[in-house]
Amino acid sequence: MKTFARLSFLGIWLASAACTESSTLKGNGGLTGGTIVVATTAEPDAIFPPITATLQGRQVTELLFDPLAQVGTAMNSLGDQGFQPRLAQSWAWAKDSLSIAFSLNPKAKWHDGKAVRASDVVFSFRIYTDSIIGSTVAAQLAQIDSISARDSVTAVVWFKRKYPRQFFDAASQMLILPEHVYSAPRDSVVRKASERGAVGSGRFRLGNWKRSESITLLADTANYRGRPGVDRVQFVIAPEFTTALTKFLTGEADVFEALRPENLADLKKNPALKAVRLPGMAYVFMQFNLRNPKHPSQGHEIFANKALRKALSMAVNRDAMVQNVFDSLATVAVGPTVRSYPTTPKTLPRIGFDSVNSRRMLDSLGWRDTNGDGIRERNGRELSFSMLVPSSSRSRERMAVLIQEQLRQVGVKATIESLDFPALMQRQADRDFDTMLWAWQLTPSPSGLRQTWAGASARTKSGSNFGSYENPVFDALVDSALAETNADRSRQLFDRAYRVIIEDAPAIWLYEPETVLGVQGRIRTTPMRPDAWWLSIADWTIPSGERIPRDLVPAGK
């Protein structure tokens, strides 16, 4: 609130001027200027790309840093069709397809004014794949053998073998880092990054980060890809959903990305607000920890048993819960994928709701209520566990309450632990949980399955397989599907892989939320990529005649 008060006061003072700097600069085919305020319910985990893991962290880092090339709105990740040049202005494949030479844009500069060089690409690969840094993306770069600098503006990516998504891995998996800023002893790179702040090459540069309050990004007015259409983007952090929504509905914020069914009625009443609906690119699931949190070398005393996991899945009526929480703005999840992926089969089996068989299975496993307190036990141990839920997600909190009640009806005690994001992230990283309601926002490539569900990730803890699911059959099918160049055969292999993991029930696949973006009417948006609407925000504009006081703050403030 204090930040907006200051901006509004300064905007009123400037309103008497006939013309501001921001309203006279030209770019993107028209007048530029203004401020876009995004209300968000969580703070970024980090703004150092190799270790950024949360949605909020991605939103900020992907505006500050550029890849070599970016996936287009059609989200093709096969070959190089539809990719948009970023730091690389062009590229050339070797005749044997085992290397790609990327020619960097000679105009590209870092936010501190130094030129982007091929050595920066070499450095970035080294950081992303360094086990001490522990990047969650490292597993997806495993098929890149090395990167070399042919000259100061040509980076050559060398591959271990040919496969369908070579270009995607080389061009889009890494956000390129400036070596002169982040170079440091291996064990202090992340610390140095947090001390120096973010220096990237994106069309926005870091203004300031007021912890737990806001992050302000300022237009990089001399950017090699052109000046953004607005002067600044400010992410305002409001951990409570209602607070964030109120900021949007009252005009304190211009964008809110988590609208619910009941909020759409409010938008219809206000012609100044609009809703943008995008296909869902995330799935939410209740993850079982298959390892003992206190003794990771041992299986979890409850969840190591597949039959019990399936029994718990049967106890949960996902259709009713999704309808209750989301109405028509979400569908029941099919597995560790989303329906909008071209590699997702049209139909997949599911562990359906069947409370009768759930009770029978629990009985057969020896979990019975012998003392009449309503909770099953076996060998003196109650069938009870905790569910971690991010306090910033109202929908997941509501879903947890419904799950808790449905499990209670079959004699299972689930305790909800609602944590703020930093605390939850730490528990997740430490694998210190029984179950957790978590979500994955997917990239255009299904190769993320390696990072989130592959057994190697579970053993090395280098990826994001926090529940420690392992099945070599699943791993082999995923690897084969990703290596297959024929689209139909690839889809068939993915089908088999998904059937394996669904049968293993390492999680209860809950829902796929549709992205419903609330936007103030004065903002002129451009086509958005379904998995990352924020990538086009530099091309959004605010007509000069529709600007409000906070839009009139001079560029660079």
With H, G, I as helix, E, B as strand and everything else as coil, classify residue 157. strand
Element (H, E) at 146: strand 144-151
DSSP code, position 286: E
Element (H, E) at 212: none
Q: Tell me the CA distances in angstroms from 241 to 170, 235, 373, 391, 397, one per residue in order.
A: 37, 15, 36, 9, 11
Q: What is residue 2's predicted lDDT score, i.e. its pLDDT?
A: 31
The first and second tokens of residue 17, run together, are 């001027």
Count of alpha carbons within 13 angstroms of residue 246, beta-carbon side: 7
Q: What is residue 461's predicted lDDT score, i.e. its pLDDT?
A: 65
Q: What is residue 10's predicted lDDT score, i.e. its pLDDT?
A: 26
With H, G, I as helix, E, B as strand and everything else as coil, classify residue 247. helix
Q: What is residue 8's predicted lDDT score, i.e. its pLDDT?
A: 29
Q: Tell me the CA distances in angstroms from 229 to 248, 381, 551, one per residue in order.
A: 21, 61, 12
Residue type, 506: P
Q: pLDDT of the chain along its 557 residues, tens only?
A: 333 232 222 232 222 223 333 333 333 344 689 999 999 988 898 899 999 988 899 999 999 999 999 998 888 888 899 999 999 999 999 999 999 999 999 999 999 999 999 999 999 999 999 999 989 888 889 999 999 999 999 999 999 999 889 999 999 999 999 999 999 887 788 887 777 789 999 999 999 999 999 999 999 999 999 999 999 999 999 988 889 999 999 999 999 998 888 888 888 889 899 999 988 889 999 999 999 999 989 999 999 999 999 999 999 999 999 999 998 889 999 999 999 887 899 899 999 999 999 999 999 999 999 999 999 999 999 999 999 999 888 889 999 999 999 999 999 999 999 999 889 989 999 999 999 999 998 888 888 898 899 886 666 666 789 999 999 999 999 999 988 888 889 999 999 999 999 999 999 999 999 989 999 999 999 999 988 999 999 999 999 999 999 998 876 66
Q: What is residue 451's predicted lDDT score, i.e. its pLDDT?
A: 85
The first and second tokens of residue 269, run together, are 């009443």
User: Residue 369's closest CA among 317, 323, 410, 322?
Assistant: 410
Whole-angstrom distance, CA of residue 304 vs CA of residue 288: 9
Beta-carbon count within 10 A of 548 CB:
16
pTM: 0.76
Sorted by sequence, the CB contacts under 8 Å of residue 268 that are 6+ apart come out as none
- Is there a contact between 147 and 125 (Cβ–Cβ < 8 Å)? yes
